[in-house]
Copies of this chain bind each other. A is one copy, B any other.
Amino acid sequence: MTDVKHMKWWGWGVEGVGFHWEDKPGFAPFVLKAVGLDLHNAEPAEPPVFEDLSLAGPVVAPALLTTLQGIVGEDDATIDPMERVVHTYGKSLRDLVRIRANAVERYVDVVVYPDDEQQVQAVVDAAVAADAVIIPFGGGSNIAGSLEPIKDETRTVISLDLGRLNKVISIDEKAGLARIQAGVLGPDMEEQLGRAGWTLGHFPDSFTHSTLGGWVATRSSGMQSDKYGDIADIARGLRVVRPSTDGAGTDGTLVIRGIPSASNGPSVREMILGSEGRLGVITEVTVQVHRTPEKRDVYAYFFPNWKAGIEAMQEIAESDAHPSITRVSDARESGFSLATSKERHGFDKFAADTVLPFLMRRKGWTNLEDICLSFIGFEGETSYAKRQKKLVDAIVKKHNGLGVGTGPGVLYDQKKFDTPYLRDFLLDRGAAGDVSESAMPWSQVIPLYDAVRAAADKAFDEIGIKGWIMAHMSHSYHSGACLYFTFAFVFGDDPITEYDTVKRAIQQAFVDNGGSISHHHGVGVEHSPWLEQDISTQGVAVMRGLFEATDPKGTFNPRKIVPDAAPIAAPVTRAARATAATKAPADTPSATRTRATARS
Contact of A263 among B219, B290, B478 (CB under 8 A): B219
Q: Given A255-B539, A536-B254, verify A267-B263 contact (CB < 8 Å).
A: no
CB distance from A519 to the nearest CB of B (A): 6
Q: Given A273-B267, A537-B251, A539-B254, verify A477-B545 contact (CB < 8 Å).
A: no
In the bound assembly, the distance between CA atoms of A266 and B275 in angstroms comes to 5
Q: Does A433 contact B (CB under 8 A)?
A: no
Contact of A514 among B257, B279, B561 (CB under 8 A): B257
Residues of B within 8 A of A262 (CB): 219, 439, 516-519, 534
Q: Given A240-B538, A549-B549, verify A274-B268 contact (CB < 8 Å).
A: no
B236 touches A479 (CB 8 A): yes
**Chain B residue with Cβ nearest A255:** B536
Question: Which of A174-182, A419-427, A585-593 forms part of the interface with chain B?
Answer: A174-182
Contact of A519 among B263, B531, B546 (CB under 8 A): B263
Question: Which of A301-309, A352-360, A379-387, A564-572 forms part of the interface with chain B?
Answer: A379-387
Indicate with 1 or 0, residue by residue over A442-470, a CB within 8 angstroms of chain B CB atoms: 11100000000000000000000000000
In the bound assembly, the distance between CA atoms of A261 and B534 in angstroms comes to 12
In the bound assembly, the distance between CA atoms of A514 and B264 in angstroms comes to 14
Contact of A271 among B270, B520, B521, B522 (CB under 8 A): B270
Q: Given A175-B441, A176-B478, A322-B322, verify A268-B380 contact (CB < 8 Å).
A: no
Q: Does A265 contact B (CB under 8 A)?
A: yes
A538 touches B264 (CB 8 A): no
Q: Does A34 contact B (CB under 8 A)?
A: no
A442 touches B519 (CB 8 A): no
Q: Does A401 contact B (CB under 8 A)?
A: no
- Interface size for A (C-beta < 8 A) is 94
Copies in the complex: 2
**Chain B residue with Cβ nearest A522:** B263
A538 touches B254 (CB 8 A): yes
Residues of B within 8 A of A515 (CB): 259
Q: Which of A269, A516, A517, A535 has the most CB of B within 10 A?
A: A535
B252 touches A538 (CB 8 A): yes
Q: Given A175-B441, A288-B478, A538-B240, verify A546-B254 contact (CB < 8 Å).
A: no
CB distance from A81 to the nearest CB of B (A): 32
**Chain B residue with Cβ nearest A511:** B257
In the bound assembly, the distance between CA atoms of A539 and B516 in angstroms comes to 28
In the bound assembly, the distance between CA atoms of A507 and B264 in angstroms comes to 13
Q: Does A562 contact B (CB under 8 A)?
A: yes
Q: Does A242 contact B (CB under 8 A)?
A: yes
Indicate with 1 or 0, residue by residue over A44-76, a CB within 8 angstroms of chain B CB atoms: 000000000000000000000000000000000
Q: Which 8 A-B pairs have the closest CB atoms?
A: A545-B549, A270-B270, A260-B477, A254-B538, A175-B441, A262-B516, A260-B480, A549-B549
Listed A/B pairs (27) with beta-carbon separation below 8 Å: A175-B441, A175-B443, A230-B261, A232-B267, A242-B541, A252-B538, A253-B538, A254-B539, A254-B542, A257-B514, A259-B515, A260-B479, A261-B519, A262-B439, A264-B517, A265-B523, A266-B279, A266-B543, A266-B561, A268-B535, A268-B543, A269-B270, A270-B270, A271-B271, A291-B318, A322-B322, A542-B546
10 further A-B contacts with Cβ under 8 Å, apart from A220-B263, A546-B550, are A177-B443, A219-B262, A257-B516, A261-B519, A262-B519, A263-B521, A264-B516, A264-B531, A267-B267, A387-B387
